């Protein structure tokens, strides 16, 4: 029963997202303190907030508020599911073009994507692709991030960020929405961070772009 898979507090976005941010930020600051300073950064989905904070886009206090608000807003929407599947972007899009309750949440590799949507929609998708020989892995995330289910919370999230002072990034990092280097306009746009809740994360292209920088 996928609905009851995430009853543990550690699996609930309300707690997971602030914990993840604190852990990621602390580890990064420790590495920097030890002399391992980043020339470039990338963050997968939610992790981009950490990269942006380290780059000076958000003040730490504002980043913590953004993370807490994002967690609260996501927790307030209807339960959903996220699932990893070894399909190409094209294969996933062919299916979801006929099913509005499913979205392509992330492109993690040439043949590795994450789909997101309603419990019913994702469970049906799982059965179909398993029957066709594809492997799936249900994520322990009880909300459908990067899907149309995030639309109801986008405006409230954007409105709060619009009240913050965002600065141009001091360390280049990859945008999850473009798969390319984030621009100053994107990083400092409240609309960009609101879109980040709903739109697909193009991680594979971003990682390829980053790796072209060498060691």
The DSSP string of 144-209 is: --SSGGGHHHHHHHHHHHHTS-----SS-BB-TTTSSBPPHHHHT-HHHHHHHHHSPB-HHHHHHH
**Which H or E element spans position 137?**
strand 136-138
Helix, strand, coil % over all residues of the chain, rounded to 5: 50, 15, 35
Query: SS3 for 133?
Result: coil
pTM, full prediction = 0.92
Helices (H) and strands (E) in the chain, counts: 9, 4
Cα–Cα distance for residue pair 150/37, rounded to 1 Å: 34
Q: Count the Cβ atoms, other than its own, within 10 Å of residue 51.
A: 27
For residue 67, what are the CA distances in angstroms to 18, 96, 157, 202?
6, 29, 10, 21
Q: Count the Cβ atoms, other than its own, within 10 Å of residue 74.
A: 25
Provide the 8-state DSSP code for 41. B
| pLDDT tens for the chain, residues 1 to 215 | 554 445 677 778 889 999 999 999 999 999 999 999 999 999 999 999 999 999 999 999 999 999 999 999 999 999 999 999 999 999 999 988 877 789 999 999 999 999 999 999 999 999 999 999 999 999 988 999 999 999 999 999 999 999 999 999 999 999 999 999 999 999 999 999 999 999 999 999 999 999 999 87
85 CB contacts (<8 Å, ≥6 apart)? 92, 112, 113, 114, 115, 129, 134, 135, 136, 137
**Which H or E element spans position 142?**
none
Which one, of 63, 66, 108, lies nearest residue 85 by Cα? 108
Which one, of 154, 135, 149, lies nearest residue 196 by Cα? 154
């Amino acid at each position: 029963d996928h609905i009851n898979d995430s009853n543990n507090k550690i699996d609930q976005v309300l707690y997971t997202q602030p914990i993840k941010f604190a852990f990621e930020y602390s580890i990064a600051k420790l590495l920097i303190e030890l002399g391992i300073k980043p020339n470039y950064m990338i963050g997968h989905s939610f992790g981009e907030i950490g990269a942006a904070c380290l780059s000076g886009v958000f003040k730490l206090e504002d980043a913590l508020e953004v993370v807490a608000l994002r967690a609260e807003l996501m927790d307030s929407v209807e339960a959903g599911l996220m699932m990893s599947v070894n399909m190409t972007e094209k294969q996933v899009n062919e299916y979801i073009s006929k099913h509005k309750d499913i979205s392509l949440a992330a492109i993690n590799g040439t043949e590795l994507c994450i789909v997101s949507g309603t419990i019913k929609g994702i469970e049906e998708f799982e059965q179909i692709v398993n029957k066709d020989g594809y492997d799936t892995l249900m994520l322990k995330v009880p909300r459908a991030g990067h899907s149309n289910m995030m639309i109801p919370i986008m405006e409230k999230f954007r409105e709060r960020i619009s009240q913050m002072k965002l600065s141009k990034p001091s360390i280049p990092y990859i945008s999850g929405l473009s798969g390319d280097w984030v621009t100053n306009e994107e990083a400092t746009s409240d609309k960009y961070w609101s879109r980040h809740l709903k739109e697909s994360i193009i991680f594979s292209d971003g990682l390829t772009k980053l790796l072209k920088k060498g060691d």
